[in-house]
Structure formats: structure tokens, C-alpha cells
Amino acid sequence: MPEDNSYFFEGVEKLLEIWFSESANNIDDLRTIPREEWEGLLRHVNCEIISFSRNTLIDAYVLSESSMFVSKRRLILKTCGTTTPLQCLEPFLKIAKQYGFTEICDLFYSRKNFTKPEVQLSPHRGFCEEVTYLDSIFPEGRSYCLGSINQECWYLYTFSKSEAINIKEGPEKADPDQTIEILMQNLDPNKMTIFTKDKFSEAHEATSNSGIDQILPDMDIDDFLFEPCGYSMNGINKKGEYMTIHITPEKKFSYVSFESNVALDNYTNLINKVIKTFQPAKFIVSIFANKSSLAYETMKDLEIEYSKTSSWNRTNMQCCNFPSYNLLFAQYSLK
């Protein structure tokens, strides 16, 4: 790992998720957008494609800074470092329109507070700047801050078609959608050495020796081990579910993120698996679920059950109700 005291890498990711309404002919598919178009969009973000995997329902890209997932009418772009994902938003909307997608039904942009916000590039130098940029495209968008605004917090921006036109979800239910994200800091140094080239030369060795391949065993994994350290992986399964993990192992600013849209009626066991794998000193959990999701009514169970975990203090918990989604946000630190 780098020993230079001036070296820093921002592991905290910016997460952009966009859902489109069905196209007019109901057969258009974002996955038909050619690779060269994605490569051009990612130049706006200041990252590039490292690896690619796919099945019949989802395309997954490992990027030089995190990941991108594309399904029929959804884009997920998650990037770390000093990347600028919002810079590709308007170019992407123009390209999507060419492929039959003219109407966004839901948009989410979220991130944890940066460790060093001063090194970020416009429009990511602060959440107010990000909100101003997003509001210029989505005047009906809404912004939130969960957690303590002067300490650890998590920012969220949402746009929903149903909010914008003031209607409720009709009899035609949306596709089930849920996302769990676990953001971990101050990781066990012994665990983090697994994700260095000093320890292993191949990504699959880090994946198996860390236990990542056992978190959600039905996932087909595409992984990458960076030089001299750092790790990214995407996993996809036949149901169109994904998982992604990104690891910044340096001791002074160690950071790990886990994200998945796996549909469960209780996430306690999954959270325990992830925490046991990486052993952080503190972590944040956020769970989104829409009304069609298996997880929509079960987040209260997590609130009750996980708060009983003896080795953790729950320092904050907030629940939010949106027109089509519920959100649970919680922060934990070791006792």
C-alpha cells in the first residue's frame, strides 16, 4: 500500500439510479445502446470500463472507479474518487431518448459525506451544488440529508414522476424494486491486506479468501484487483439481481461499500454476513423498497432485530416514507 502521507483516495461513491417509464412499443431496451456510447458517456465521468459481464436480464460493468449496471429500463452508475457522474446525466438522457426512452419515472442520487470534499470537481464540490445542478434538470426534485449534518451523514436527491404530477400509484404496480447499501469505515487492517497485490496477485484469490463469494452464493462474480491495492467486484444472477463491492484498503482512509437489489423479506442475516466479512468499526445501512417489493413492509423488523445486536451501538436511525418507496437509514459503531 502507498506510504506517502500526502496520498489520499476518496472511497465514498456517488450513486445515480435512473428508472424510465416503459417505451411506447414496450420492446426498447437500454442494453441495446452500443458500448462506444457508454464509453463516451463515461468520459464525462472521468472513468473507463475495465470489465463486462451480462446475462439475459442485466449488463454489469466494472469501472476504473466502481461500477455501472444496465437493465431494460434502469441505469445504475456508482463511482468513487473525484469522478463526476452528474456530468453525464444530460448526455445520457439524450442518448436514451434516441433508443425510445423519453420519460423518467424515478431518479435517485445519493452519497455519504466525503472525507475530503475540497478535492472534488464541479458539480460535486458540495451537496448544495449537486442539488442546484439536479434542480436545473428536475425542477420538481427533492433533496434530503439523513444523519448529523455536522458529522457523518448521507445525502439523497429524488425525483418521481408521481410526485411531479401529484398522482398516486395506480392499479398497475411498478416492478418490485429494493436496494440495500452498507457503507463501512475503519476496517480491520488484517482483512484489508487481502485486497493488496502484496498478498494476492489475482482478484479471484481475494474474492475467495475474504469470503466475498459466500455473501450471496448464487451470484456470478466478475472481480478486479487493482495495483498496488484496491478491489472491485460485480455479481449478477439469473433473476436480474446484482451485488457490487468496492474496497479502498489503505489504513488511514479504509472504506468498503456493499450494494445489492436482492429481494429478501429480512436483511438482518445479510448485514451480519457483510459485517463479519469486513469487520468495520462503524457502518451505515440504507434500505429502499417500493410498494411492490417483498421488503416494503419488513424494514421495521430490521429496526427491531438489529438494534439488539450486542456488539454494536445504533447511533442513529431514521425512516422516511416517499410516495412509492420506504427508506430505512441507520448508523452503527462498535461498543
Residues at the annotated binding site for substrate?
9, 65, 226, 250
166: left (phi over 0), alpha (psi -120 to 50) or beta: left
**Residue 246 falls in the annotated catalytic set:** yes
Question: How many Cα atoms within 13 Å fall on the side-chain side of residue 225?
Answer: 21
**Residue 124 falls in the annotated catalytic set:** no
In the set 246, 254, 286, 324, the catalytic residue is 246
**Which cell numbers in the block locate residue 156?**
439523497
**Which cell numbers in the block locate residue 327?**
427508506
Residue in 295, 287, 253 with CA at minimum distance from that of residue 271: 287
In the set 110, 160, 210, 232, the catalytic residue is 232
The residue whose grid cell reads 450471496 is 216
Q: Are the C-beta atoms of residues 30 and 71 closer than 8 Å to each other?
A: yes
**Which cell numbers in the block locate residue 86?**
452528474
**Residue 128 falls in the annotated catalytic set:** no
The residue whose grid cell reads 451537496 is 127
In the set 23, 47, 64, 66, the catalytic residue is 66
**Residue 153 falls in the annotated catalytic set:** no
Q: Running DSSP on this structure, what letter comes out for residue 138?
A: -
Q: Are the C-beta atoms of residues 273 and 283 closer than 8 Å to each other?
A: no
In the set 47, 64, 80, 124, the catalytic residue is 80
Task: Indicate the annotated binding residues.
Answer: 9, 65, 226, 250
Q: So which residues are the catalytic ones? A: 66, 80, 232, 246
